[in-house]
Amino acid sequence: MNPITKEGEILLREELKKLKSEDRPKIIDAIATAREFGDLKENAEYHAAKEQQSLTEARIRDIESKLSSSQVIDIKSIEPSDKVIFGTTVTVYNSDLEKSIQYKIVGEDEADASIGKISFAAPLAKKMIGKFEGDILQVETPNGSVEYEIEKVDYL
């Protein structure tokens, strides 16, 4: 099973709905229009539309597969504590940078470090899961060991 947050599940379902109800019909129309141009061997519009169709159908299958094999974890339905678990938002103090940083621990498909979402499989998340507010951890990075202190755990 692949864990995913409730928020991640909603985003995947919205993307799937858009692909099926908006993108797929547009591509079908583009293929039909391109066919009217004649010879399909040298019809760039036709080949571009068919390629787009292939990519869209692959993404639909990918999302459906992910949704069927995912375990949705709704962090808001879990009794809050100061323990770090999948789905929690964790504020850590990075001793190297001398500043606090906030991360949400999410599924691999949801991870986006630029907005503070890290995969549960990331080295920092692996070190944090199971720890509590006040705990200090060492994480090996390409630039050496970094010390973090867990300042706050939120079940948002």
Q: What is the pLDDT of residue 104?
A: 97
Task: List the CATH number of the domain containing 48.
Answer: 1.10.287.180
Q: pLDDT (tens digit, 0 to 9) for every residue of the chain, 156 residues total?
A: 789 999 999 999 999 999 999 999 999 999 998 888 777 777 888 889 999 999 999 999 999 999 999 999 999 999 999 999 999 999 999 988 899 999 999 999 899 999 999 999 999 999 999 999 999 999 988 888 999 999 999 999
pTM exceeding the 0.85 threshold for the entire prediction: no
Task: Name the domain boundary from 73, 89, 121.
Answer: 73
What pLDDT, on a 0 to 100 scale, did the predictor assign at position 84? 97
68 and 79 together in one domain: no
The residue segments making up the domain with residue 51 are 2-73
Of the residues 42, 58, 73, which one is the last residue of a structural domain?
73
Last residue of a domain, one of 73, 91, 110: 73
Same domain, 137 and 104: yes
**Statement to judge: residues 32 and 84 lie in one domain:** no
pLDDT for residue 103: 97
- Could you tell me if 24 and 50 lie in one domain? yes
Q: How many domains does the chain have?
A: 2
- What CATH number should be reported for the domain holding residue 112? 3.10.50.30
Helices (H) and strands (E) in the chain, counts: 4, 7
Q: Are residues 107 and 123 located together in one domain of the fold? A: yes
The DSSP-derived string for 22-82 is IIHHHHHHHHHHHHTTS-STT-HHHHHHHHHHHHHHHHHHHHHHHHHTEEEE-GGGSPP-S
